Amino acid sequence: MKVYKFGGASIKSSAGIRNVKAILGLCQEPLVIVVSALGKTTNALEILLNMYFENDPAVESQLAKIEREHCSLLEELVGPGMDTEILSPLFAEVRQHISGRLKGSYDFCYDQLVSYGELLSTKIVYAYLIKEGVNITWLDARKLISTDSNFREAGVNLEETALRVHSALEGKQGSFLIQGFLGGNIDGYATTLGREGSDYSAAVLANVINAESVTIWKDVSGILNADPKEFKNAVHLPGVSYQEAVELSFFGAQIIHPKTIKPLQNKGITLFVKPFQQPNAAGTIINAEATSGSVPVYVIKHNQVLISIRPKDFSFVLEETLSEVFPILSKNRVKINMVQSSAITISICVDGVKRYIQPAMEELKTKFNVLYNENLELFTIRNYRVDEVEKITSGRKVYMLQKTRRTLRILVDEGSFDGMEL
């Protein structure tokens, strides 16, 4: 079997969903189809959750807006009046949650509420495909993708997931439709796998069914050597190795979710990234044999924070200090992007998520002197040219710079940046 994944952009309109059906029709065999929430629904649900937490009376109108969007899309695809049967039960559950029923930690509540994005989108796509005569089964990822209870970034138990998926697929004909991004913990509560996690869902499913390949359908021609919104003259990469793909997503390229490659590499499953506007285009192929060769690749990570840590008693940065600092960061979910150490200071560049950084800082400050710089940008260039350091750093303050034979990484303050020429 093959796995196809469609992101929010590909299903945000009725034309998009009709195009999904056309793409499915190009494949002769049954598929496992993984779908994200419609368009920007996940963001809208995050806003809904924050309004609920802040007792904002606008919470009801925010939900009404989400409901209208989903109902009118369903109506365009399958005709009027179907929402009562297909969508209303889910919206009734969401209303119950925001009427005060939903209680617990922020991360727990997040997963219980935000998971409705994918439940709703798959109900709509399913209703349309059934109406069009497609032989397809709707599956509930909360019951099949078995995870721990690390809400908002749940870890998948592959063995248990394999057992559940096999028994769900066994003896059934046709294709399967399942939500990306979602899983369920041992108590039956919804969990989510991290923002943009549907790519990872597709990879997990491919791994447990030993799929022939995974295709991620996107609104770009495939993987480019730079984000065209940030760099001029970006070029298409026909092939990328697993290792290059992991590095690029770690460096911050917003192409595929960073966790996607491991389950595929482990089973030698090829990943294609293809444009949904041109389904017959080659796109980009990612596997052990493919490579981008020596084409330079550019990635920028915005909203970076530099934390500089020095032991209060002036002791050297030894393994002991490092082994105290890293667990504090990891426990608080602070994502580390680059590290440098000197005699008495360790400098760490991390994603600027205040909610995670603040408690980590409090803890670090009990033992260390801690300095903090925010609003920084981390540039990574693979296969860099020497003159590129000057291009990036001109007029900016450099906070950290690292060079290896192939990769250049520079942390600078946010400059005015209107598209660097490559």
Q: Tell me, what amino acid is at 402?
A: Q
What proportions of the chain, in percent to the nearest 5, are helix, strand and coil? 40, 25, 35
The answer to the question of residue 8 lying near Mg ion (CB under 5 A) is yes
39 binds ligand ASP (CB under 6 A): no
Q: Is residue 308 involved in binding Mg ion (CB under 5 A)?
A: no
Q: What angle do CA 199, 295, 379 make, to 5 degrees?
A: 70
Q: Which of 7, 16, 39, 183 binds ligand ASP (CB under 6 A)?
A: 7
Q: Report the residue number, 117 or 258, with the smaller CB distance to ligand ASP.
A: 117
8 versus 30: smaller Cβ distance to ligand ASP: 8
Binding segment (CB under 6 A) for ligand ASP, from list 74-82, 195-203, 356-364, 396-404:
195-203
Euclidean distance between CA atoms 346 and 333, whole angstroms = 19
Q: Determine which residue in the list 2, 3, 7, 74 makes contact with Mg ion, applying CB under 5 A.
A: 7
DSSP 269-310: -EEEEEETTSTTS--EEEESS---TT--EEEEEEEEEEEEEE
- Minimal distance, residue 198 CB to Mg ion, in Å: 6
Nearer to ligand ASP, 184 or 197 (CB): 197
Residue whose CB is less far from ligand ASP, 223 or 392: 223
Question: Segment contacting Mg ion (CB under 5 A): 8-16, 206-214, 228-236, 357-365?
Answer: 8-16
CB nearer Mg ion, residue 216 or residue 338: 216
CB closer to Mg ion, 8 vs 263: 8
As measured in angstroms, the least distance from the Cβ of 37 to ligand ASP is: 4
How far apart, in Å, do the first and last CA atoms of the chain sit?
A: 40
What are the distances in angstroms from CA 141 to CA 36, 134, 136, 146, 179? 12, 20, 15, 8, 6
Q: Tell me the residue number closest to ligand ASP, measured at CB.
A: 198
Q: Does 263 engage in binding with ligand ASP (CB under 6 A)?
A: no
From the CB of residue 213, how many other CB atoms can be counted at a distance below 10 Å? 16
- φ/ψ of residue 352, rounded to 5: -80, 60
Q: CB–CB of 225/237 below 8 Å?
A: yes
Q: What is the Cα–Cα distance from 275 to 18, expressed in whole angstroms?
A: 15
Task: Please give the Cα distance from 161 to 184 (Å, whole number).
Answer: 10
When the beta carbons of 152 and 382 are compared against ligand ASP, the nearer one is 152
Length of the chain: 422
The reply to whether 222 sits near ligand ASP by the rule CB under 6 A is no
Cβ 6 vs Cβ 24: under 8 Å: no
Asked if 34 and 180 count as a contact pair (C-beta separation under 8 A), the reply is yes
Tell me if 195 contacts ligand ASP by CB under 6 A.
yes
Give yes or no for residue 37 binding ligand ASP (CB under 6 A). Answer: yes
Give the binding site for Mg ion (CB under 5 A): 7-8, 36
Give the binding site for ligand ASP (CB under 6 A): 7-8, 36-37, 42, 117, 180-181, 195-198
